A and B are shown apart, each in its own frame.
Chain A
Amino acid sequence: MPGLCRSDPNNEGAAAPGPSSSERRTFNSTARLRTDSVKKSRPLFPWFGMDIGGTLVKLVYFEPKDITAEEEQEEVENLKSIRRYLTLNTAYGKTGIRDVHLELKDLTLCGRTGNLHFIRFPTQDLPVFLQMGRDKHFSSLHTTLCATGGGPTSLKLHKLDELECLIRGVLYIDSVMPRECYYFENPTDPDHCVERPYPLENPYPMLLVNIGSGVSILAVYSENNYKRVTGTSLGGGTFLGLCCLLTGCSSFEDALEMASEGESTRVDKLVRDIYGGDYERFGLPGWAVASSFGNMMSKEKRETVSKADLARATLVTITNNIGSITRMCALNENIERVVFVGNFLRVNTLSMKLLAYAMDYWSKGQLKALFLRHEGYFGAVGALLELLHSS
């Protein structure tokens, strides 16, 4: 099982799949041969990976489905209760949610077969989550919680490098999940813009844009060769923060819902608002935004816009800005494939289509925007892989 338990002796540092996808998808048989040795080195259950972001904590949990009767007897009670609690519910406390549609079934990890669950809850509720763990006597288990991202330093976590986890997570999920990666065909034609699977067979080099609360942009040349090109503080946190201030909404979902009903051109000043049409001399189309929120300087116009319009304009502003910066980085790094991940894109088709449009239009078709179904969970997956890898 290359990539997870260091089964390839020629590739000591490798923790994620190799380049060939056919090889990657047939790992089960080879892995079985090594089960005995693997068994000794694999960590005790439960297997978690956690990514503590600025806004959300992302948790992946591996639920073994191949538990033998012998194991079932050995399994301590509280471990059993955790397993049941997590897998039988889809919501935890007031704010924890399991993304059931993302669950990966019949996955084999370190010789064990099971399901991979994807759970998230707001970072501000982390203490509640930890308390819950204590209530369920989680701390009595001999386990390491591998975590990446931020989080209070008081937590006793096995902290991992965020970007490394992210890249490993992306490469791993793509290797086990068919149709994980997709793109929009005809991005500049709204009537014919359709989602299509994209085989990420030879992913390098790629620009990996992680849009969480803030944004990190990585140039990935190979599994272990990557760099953070730049980042911007204008990310998902900015979108939600500004939406809360402008519209009084309180959740990402509300903000997105409002945005979907609004019209940004009432808020933004467009090129055609200034020049009456296209600014041909410099190739600027009339519909391009000349000044984000530019119309809001006028009192009359402020009175005519709705909260939905403001939410939409905020979404468009943040998304376009990420698009601009990404495009410049792609040009500077000479990379044509851009993979967008992060929870900002969760249930956010508006932004994804906008990014696809912007990449295609401004690069005259040179750049391709790619998206992954597990959007925000790659860091947590990477952390889980690290747990299995390091033990």
Chain B
Amino acid sequence: MAECVGVDSSTSAHTMDKSIILPPDEIFRNLENAKRFAIDIGGSLTKLAYYSTVQHKVAKVRSFDHTAKEAHSDKLYEISVQEEVTARLHFIKFENTYIETCLDFIKDHLVNTETKVIKATGGGAHKFKDLIEKKLGLKVDKEDEMTCLIKGCNFVLRNIPHEAFVYTKHADSEFRFQTTHPDIFPYLLVNIGSGVSIVKRFDELLQLASKGQHTSVDMLVKDIYGGSYGSLGLTGDLIASSFGKSATADKEFPKEDMAKSLLHMISNDIGQLACLYAKLHNLSRVYFGGFFIRGHPVTMHTITYSINYFTKGEVQALFLRHEGYLGAIGAFLKGAEEDNPNQYRWVENYAGSSGLMSVSPDMNPMQRARSGTFDMLEMDRLERQLVKLPLLQDPSSYIPDTVDLTEDALAREYWLFCFEDALDGVVQRAVASQPDLPEAPERAEKFRQKYRHKLQTLRHQPFAYGSLTVRSLLDTREHCLNEFNFPDPYSKIKQRENDLALKYYLKAVKALEKLEWEDRQLALVSGVLAGNVFDWGAKAVSDVLESDPEFGFEEAKRQLEERPWLVDCYDQWFERLKGPPHRCALFFVDNSGVDIILGVIPFVRELLSRGTEVVLASNSGPALNDVTNGELQILTERIAAMDPVIQSGLRDERLMLVQSGSSSPCLDLSRLDKVLATLVRERKTDLVIIEGMGRAIHTNYYAMLSCESLKMAVIKNSWLADRLGGKLFSVVFKYEPTGAAVP
């Protein structure tokens, strides 16, 4: 890997621009497949955008051909790693000083020759037009700056959850991220550009300002009135006249104080004008972006203060995590209109994206020195449409995550430790999953470095990627694993466990059938819960599973907490079962192996027998040992071959398998596969079952649905159990009758 030479504050930027060596696998990635370039050149920062296709390794499962069955021992299905091509958007931000070096680099690495045009926007597009055309041999096609900003803003608001945030200086967490509103319009966008040409000096000025006292320069209300001006509601500390004292006092003012006064003056003025425009157009959301903001706490604070003051809290000052990229994104979208980028959903790739303030000097000087001033955003195209679950009671207030680790420092500390602690195991697992590939350990090591670096970043800046949650920590890990071509480290383990569990299926079902109806209901629930103990994702369990592969289903049942459980709504559920059957149940399943085969399927079987249709929703892509849709298809086929109840269910389409649209161990009910949502509506689903810690505890524990819901999980983490007032293997069985009755 090439060294990346960063900007060192002790050396002048002029001597650095030629000597920078770009690390190709870090900064301008996938240039060989790149097309549709766009560039936004501001007064000081250049933002480059391009589209590429990424070759991924994906693990696919395929049922064995039955005619060749004997040749393949007793394995249920085969796992093959295939190359899959997905679309990715790359956005890179760097200082204008490096523009020539970067253009040279791009030219040298660009393979695709179809590209003829580069879309350009921003004030500097004109200035650098000739340079770009000469270096890249592409025709510069200019796009309107404001149109690009707005297009870019719409794009990030639609596609990136937690894009917008409110800044509160003195709160527990300074950043309060907003959940994406289904309807992003109308809003006011205030772009505070500047044409500032030297980043360092601007940042120095802000630093200077943060040390100053504006009251020595500004004339305050109390300087004129001796106190507050009560009848007008003007407090004494309010600025009556900016710089008002500098005219009368015959003295030198400290630079810090003047800088602070200037900052207040500009911020208040912008805030005031923004409020007046917001009021005129009746808007309550105002997004601020541009060079002036650039994630600087001090400017965000003064702008927020100003907006709060002038609107008495009626208008919210919102900031964007990717405000610097809006112009480039917009210009790119203009150029890519024939690819219909707006038709797809895109998802932020945590592995390939720098966090908020990655280049902010006062936040993380170490990091700045290391990676220079390069900031990146990568977004992957989702191949399927994601929509919200139609059964959410109030989609606009739905927040998937139970605990916001950005706000909860104790929990944050624990989970960051926990993920760091589990890293060795994940690396080992990743290497073991590719025994035939000699370079796997090297890649696994890179994965370790990358993820550890992410964890370190998050420790210092929990807000780097929006609200920090257990879900985002898990998702980041999955993204990093994928980045280094470990698409499914658990594939072999899942395969082995599925094979094992299938052998016990009939025996388990028969044992249940012997029970009286009442006893069976409890046994079924206990079965799901005991099955849920089998989880490689939970450290407490993976230790046991690793040391003792014979850890059996029966043993798991014995490990389960005695009733009453930690959260125990079983009696209500049991009463409900005495009533009429549900029309249709949507079941979000969790782990493969014992969990799905011996726990979930028998429970589903009972529902089918009651006359309830069942939609089984499983992950689209792999995450830990969670059962994927592909695996579940094969499993149910095999079970159907043994069990006529499942067979007829599948045949009559009373049992349906759908993909959730997710590749996460957690569940965001506002981003689900469109096919699932359609089916849920068509079948008039009146029961939602969510299983497992990731889906029912870390996320959705407080999710309110407009129909009946069951949330079932075993707490396989002693810290979390402790926090919830239970102990390891405590049971959560939460039954919620219809929240808002649907006719």
Interface residues on A, range: 35 or more
Residue A119 interfacial (CB < 8 Å): no
**If A122-B248, A282-B146 touch, does A241 touch B269 (CB 8 Å cutoff)?**
no
Shortest Cβ distance from residue A372 to the other chain B in the assembled complex, whole angstroms: 21
Residue B186 interfacial (CB < 8 Å): no
The contact string, 1 if C-beta is below 8 Å from chain A, for chain B 214-238, is: 0001110001111101011000001
**What residues on A are CB-neighbors of B526 within 8 Å?**
none
**What residues on B are CB-neighbors of A332 within 8 Å?**
276, 279-280
Nearest B-chain residue to A163, judged by Cβ: B232
Shortest Cβ distance from residue B490 to the other chain A in the assembled complex, whole angstroms: 54
Residue B421 interfacial (CB < 8 Å): no
Residue B123 interfacial (CB < 8 Å): yes
**What residues on A are CB-neighbors of B227 within 8 Å?**
153
The contact string, 1 if C-beta is below 8 Å from chain B, for chain A 218-232, is: 000000000010101
The contact string, 1 if C-beta is below 8 Å from chain B, for chain A 311-343, is: 000000000010011001101100000000000
**If A230-B272, A276-B126, A281-B144 touch, does A241 touch B242 (CB 8 Å cutoff)?**
yes
**What residues on A are CB-neighbors of B231 within 8 Å?**
161
Most buried by B among A150, A243, A244: A150
Residue B310 interfacial (CB < 8 Å): yes
**What residues on B are CB-neighbors of A52 within 8 Å?**
224
**If A54-B224, A153-B227, A276-B126 touch, does A214 touch B219 (CB 8 Å cutoff)?**
yes
Most buried by B among A152, A232, A236, A241: A241
Measured CA separation A238–B232 after assembly (Å): 22
**If A240-B247, A241-B246 touch, does A274 touch B195 (CB 8 Å cutoff)?**
yes
Q: Which of A54, A153, A291 contacts B195 (CB 8 A)?
A: A291
Contact A328 B242 (CB under 8 A): no
**If A54-B240, A233-B239, A237-B219 touch, does A274 touch B123 (CB 8 Å cutoff)?**
yes
**What residues on A are CB-neighbors of B268 within 8 Å?**
232-233
Residue B405 interfacial (CB < 8 Å): no
Residue A120 interfacial (CB < 8 Å): no
Residue A53 interfacial (CB < 8 Å): yes
Shortest Cβ distance from residue B480 to the other chain A in the assembled complex, whole angstroms: 41
Nearest B-chain residue to A235, judged by Cβ: B241
Residue A245 interfacial (CB < 8 Å): yes
Residue B641 interfacial (CB < 8 Å): no
**If A55-B247, A241-B242 touch, does A328 touch B197 (CB 8 Å cutoff)?**
no
Residue B265 interfacial (CB < 8 Å): yes
Contact B223 A233 (CB under 8 A): no
Shortest Cβ distance from residue B50 to the other chain A in the assembled complex, whole angstroms: 26
Q: Which of A213, A244, A269, A291 contacts B240 (CB 8 A)?
A: A213
**What residues on B are CB-neighbors of A331 within 8 Å?**
280
Contact B146 A150 (CB under 8 A): no
**What residues on B are CB-neighbors of A245 within 8 Å?**
243, 246, 253, 258
Nearest B-chain residue to A240, judged by Cβ: B247
Contact B279 A238 (CB under 8 A): no
Shortest Cβ distance from residue B260 to the other chain A in the assembled complex, whole angstroms: 13
**What residues on B are CB-neighbors of A236 within 8 Å?**
241
Most buried by A among B218, B239, B247: B247
Contact A328 B224 (CB under 8 A): no
Contact B248 A124 (CB under 8 A): yes
Contact A241 B273 (CB under 8 A): no
Contact A241 B195 (CB under 8 A): no
**What residues on A are CB-neighbors of B243 within 8 Å?**
237-238, 241-242, 245
Contact A328 B276 (CB under 8 A): yes
Contact B242 A237 (CB under 8 A): yes
Nearest B-chain residue to A150, judged by Cβ: B224
**What residues on B are CB-neighbors of A286 within 8 Å?**
none
Residue A149 interfacial (CB < 8 Å): yes
Contact B276 A329 (CB under 8 A): yes
Residue A234 interfacial (CB < 8 Å): yes
Q: Which of B144, B198, B241 contacts A238 (CB 8 A)?
A: B241
Residue A69 interfacial (CB < 8 Å): no
**What residues on B are CB-neighbors of A291 within 8 Å?**
193-195
Interface residues on B, range: 35 or more
Contact A55 B244 (CB under 8 A): yes
Shortest Cβ distance from residue A248 to the other chain B in the assembled complex, whole angstroms: 12
Contact B246 A244 (CB under 8 A): yes
Shortest Cβ distance from residue A58 to the other chain B in the assembled complex, whole angstroms: 13
Contact B244 A214 (CB under 8 A): yes
Most buried by B among A213, A236, A269, A325: A213
Nearest B-chain residue to A298, judged by Cβ: B197
Contact B248 A228 (CB under 8 A): no
The contact string, 1 if C-beta is below 8 Å from chain B, for chain A 233-268, is: 111111011111100000000000000000000000
Nearest A-chain residue to B277, judged by Cβ: A328
Contact B269 A234 (CB under 8 A): yes
Contact A214 B240 (CB under 8 A): yes
Residue B56 interfacial (CB < 8 Å): no
Contact A232 B195 (CB under 8 A): no
Contact B196 A297 (CB under 8 A): yes
**What residues on B are CB-neighbors of A237 within 8 Å?**
219, 240-244, 247
Contact A214 B241 (CB under 8 A): yes
Contact A325 B273 (CB under 8 A): yes
Contact B196 A321 (CB under 8 A): no
Nearest B-chain residue to A229, judged by Cβ: B276
**What residues on B are CB-neighbors of A329 within 8 Å?**
276
Q: Which of A213, A228, A297 contacts B244 (CB 8 A)?
A: A213
**If A324-B273, A328-B273 touch, does A234 touch B242 (CB 8 Å cutoff)?**
yes
Residue B147 interfacial (CB < 8 Å): yes
**What residues on A are CB-neighbors of B43 within 8 Å?**
297
Measured CA separation A275–B706 after assembly (Å): 54
Contact B146 A241 (CB under 8 A): no
Shortest Cβ distance from residue B223 to the other chain A in the assembled complex, whole angstroms: 7
Measured CA separation A274–B193 after assembly (Å): 12
The contact string, 1 if C-beta is below 8 Å from chain B, for chain A 140-169, is: 000000000111110000000111000000
Residue A294 interfacial (CB < 8 Å): yes
Contact B194 A149 (CB under 8 A): no
Measured CA separation A190–B392 after assembly (Å): 63
Measured CA separation A54–B231 after assembly (Å): 18
Nearest A-chain residue to B43, judged by Cβ: A297
The contact string, 1 if C-beta is below 8 Å from chain B, for chain A 73-88, is: 0000000000000000
Nearest B-chain residue to A245, judged by Cβ: B246
Contact A294 B195 (CB under 8 A): yes
Nearest B-chain residue to A124, judged by Cβ: B248
Residue B139 interfacial (CB < 8 Å): no
The contact string, 1 if C-beta is below 8 Å from chain A, for chain B 260-292, is: 000001001100110011011000000000000
Residue B450 interfacial (CB < 8 Å): no
Contact A281 B241 (CB under 8 A): no
Nearest B-chain residue to A280, judged by Cβ: B144
Nearest A-chain residue to B310, judged by Cβ: A230
Q: Which of B197, B226, B247, B277 contacts A244 (CB 8 A)?
A: B247
Nearest B-chain residue to A284, judged by Cβ: B146
Q: Which of B197, B232, B245, B279 contacts A241 (CB 8 A)?
A: B245
Measured CA separation A245–B217 after assembly (Å): 11
**What residues on A are CB-neighbors of B229 within 8 Å?**
162
Contact B247 A294 (CB under 8 A): no
Measured CA separation A162–B273 after assembly (Å): 25
Shortest Cβ distance from residue A130 to the other chain B in the assembled complex, whole angstroms: 15
A-B contact pairs, 24 of them (CB 8 A): A124-B248, A149-B225, A150-B223, A150-B225, A212-B241, A213-B241, A213-B244, A228-B232, A230-B276, A232-B268, A233-B240, A233-B241, A233-B265, A237-B219, A241-B217, A241-B241, A241-B245, A242-B246, A245-B243, A245-B253, A269-B195, A294-B195, A297-B195, A321-B269
The 9 closest A-B pairs by CB, nearest first: A237-B241, A241-B243, A150-B224, A237-B244, A328-B276, A213-B241, A241-B246, A153-B226, A240-B247
Beyond known contacts A124-B248, A234-B242: 9 more, CB 8 A cutoff? A122-B248, A150-B225, A151-B226, A230-B272, A232-B269, A234-B269, A236-B241, A297-B198, A328-B277
